[in-house]
């Protein structure tokens, strides 16, 4: 009979206190029963990783996806190399397309300018300037091992002649009309431009403010590299598949560089 009063209900032993004011220092939050901070608070999220335009933390499975893309590109490159090395319908169609582009309306002077942007003496100095700026910013910010991304980019650039020269000798493809000798597959100028400009953009992205600026820089780099390849074909220095294969090879190198930079950034966080 003593429990029939009209007083407020009393807490029973063992009931959860997660929703009561001050429980475990939560301050009355209906979502958490302790004072722990959220695992990914917005205030501590870092800018996007190397090669990414967003601001998301590392997502499981992306290295696996990158490996799958690398494997697909390697198969594509092997297929193109096989088609170029022997007399196939694809090779004959490639040569017809190359002759048609070489006879196109684009002025020779402009095409020559585009092709020259793939020269070692043009593309590599651009990369060196970008790497020097990134290294200076990273060292000034106190980034641990600030020199490591720069070294990784230089190693990636050095891999271009180490891969292209043996492939040229192994395939021994003859050049377009008017070009003497062989060894035109893959295009060294295209690979030099793609890796030099691409690596420069990858290292610059984290130091640029605004997703619009980063996106426009990435798009501009892609357009520039494609223009270099087109200029080479238009001037009759390479067949189209020489350029396409170099783009595939360069994409593999840049993806490997991106995976390395992202893994390093993830460990630092």
Question: What pLDDT does residue 143 have?
Answer: 87
| Paired tokens of 198 | 């691409």
pTM higher than 0.85, yes or no? no
Nearest to 211 by CA among 57, 58, 53, 56: 53
Asked if residues 255 and 69 have their Cβ atoms less than 8 Å apart, the reply is yes
Compute the mean pLDDT over every residue in the chain, rounded to the nearest whole number: 83
Task: State pLDDT tens for residues 55-67.
Answer: 444 444 467 888 9
25, 34 Cβ separation under 8 angstroms: yes
Q: What's phi and psi for 182, nearest 5 deg?
A: -135, -165
Crossing angle of helices 240-268 and 62-85, rounded to 10°:
160
Fold topology of 60-268: Vanadium-containing Chloroperoxidase; domain 1 (1.20.144)
Q: What is the pLDDT of residue 162?
A: 97
Instruction: Compare 143 and 45 and report the one with higher pLDDT.
Output: 143
């Amino acid at each position: 009979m003593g429990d029939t009063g009209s007083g407020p209900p009393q807490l029973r032993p063992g009931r959860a206190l997660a929703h009561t004011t001050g429980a475990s220092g939560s301050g009355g939050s209906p979502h958490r029963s302790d004072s722990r901070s959220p695992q990914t608070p917005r205030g501590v999220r870092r800018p996007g990783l190397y090669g990414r335009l967003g601001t998301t933390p590392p997502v499981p499975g992306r290295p696996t996806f990158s490996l799958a893309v690398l494997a697909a590109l390697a198969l594509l490159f092997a297929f193109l190399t096989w088609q170029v090395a022997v007399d196939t319908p694809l090779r004959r169609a490639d040569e017809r397309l190359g002759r048609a582009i070489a006879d196109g309306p684009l002025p020779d002077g402009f095409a020559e300018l585009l092709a020259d942007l793939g020269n070692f003496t043009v593309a590599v100095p651009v990369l060196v300037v970008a790497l020097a700026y990134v290294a200076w910013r990273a060292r000034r910010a106190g980034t641990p091992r600030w020199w490591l991304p720069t070294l990784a980019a230089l190693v990636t650039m050095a891999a271009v002649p180490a891969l292209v020269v043996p492939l040229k000798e192994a395939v021994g493809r003859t050049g377009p009309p008017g070009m003497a000798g062989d060894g035109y597959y893959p295009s060294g100028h295209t690979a030099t431009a793609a890796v030099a400009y691409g690596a420069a953009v990858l290292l610059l992205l984290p130091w640029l403010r605004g997703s619009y600026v980063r996106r426009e820089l990435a798009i501009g780099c892609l357009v520039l590299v494609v223009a270099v390849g087109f200029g080479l074909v238009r001037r009759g220095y390479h067949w189209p598949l020489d350029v396409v294969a170099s783009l595939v090879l360069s994409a593999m190198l840049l993806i490997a560089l991106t995976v390395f930079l992202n893994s390093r950034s993830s460990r630092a966080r």
